[in-house]
Structure 1
């Protein structure tokens, strides 16, 4: 039986699989790989934490403790264009690993979260039109 609080139907196992496949792609990605490599020492622990984030966001399951906004702001090496690349890779994994309805639902949620993170992390450092604020 589907969880009535879930945003769309997806299992915990599917979330774990998508997260694992996504980070396989991230590690090999020419732009994203080096950014993550600076911050992630323990990939299994990172993937487990991200999976807990998605289980909370999609299935409303407790277990995630963190603030993605604070983490991305503190990283210091997140730049314009990275969120678009992140979402493009994530969408590829969703389409490959899930049925179309699941992929569409998760993608819509990921894009909403991505817009929020982009605005809070990158766009707060720029003027309209993407002109950097020089401190």
Structure 2
């Protein structure tokens, strides 16, 4: 499959590393991450694979992000707004504007699905595949 937008593996890894450097020091998100992530290099490698799969259809990621976030009982739906704000700021610092915008759109779509899936009154996540190609 054709990647959603042009980006290198190194750019993905750089964005992931900077995001987690910022998130670990955030007063609201940092303690939540610290409670669940004990091996940062392994976590960053896994999330890099997640984004490579989401953007490049790489198929190197094997996981269920919604279930992981549900199992972490201290993750709340409203935290995704903060997460996305931090993520967008990293994207803008690290990438050309058009690449940052494309990745931001994808991240917000995924964030909406995770937020929706963490809201108890909802029956499940929406279709995150986006419009047909």
TM-score relative to the length of structure 1 = 0.87
Q: Tell me the number of residue pairs that the alignment of Structure 1 and Structure 2 aligns.
A: 122
Q: State yes or no: 1:124 paired with 2:123.
A: no
Q: Counterpart in 2 of 1:60? A: 57
Q: Counterpart in 2 of 1:104? A: 101
Give me the CA root mean square deviation.
1.2
Distance 2:46 2:92 in 1: 22
Q: State yes or no: 1:43 paired with 2:37.
A: no
Deviation for aligned residue 1:125: 5.2
3-state secondary structure, aligned to 1:17: helix
In structure 2, stretches of 5+ residues that fail to align are 123-133
Q: Counterpart in 2 of 1:131? A: none
Distance 2:18 2:29 in 1: 14
3-state secondary structure, aligned to 2:75: coil
Q: Which of 9, 26, 35 is equivalent to 1:12?
A: 9
Deviation for aligned residue 1:80: 3.6
Q: Counterpart in 1 of 2:128? A: none
In structure 1, stretches of 5+ residues that fail to align are 127-135
Q: Counterpart in 2 of 1:129? A: none
Residue correspondence of structure 1 range 69-108 to structure 2 within 5 A: 69-108=66-105
Moved segments of 4+, more than 6 Å: none
TM-score relative to the length of structure 2 = 0.89
Structure with greater Cα Rg? 1
**Could you say which structure has the higher helix fraction?**
1
Deviation for aligned residue 1:62: 1.6
Q: Counterpart in 2 of 1:21? A: 18
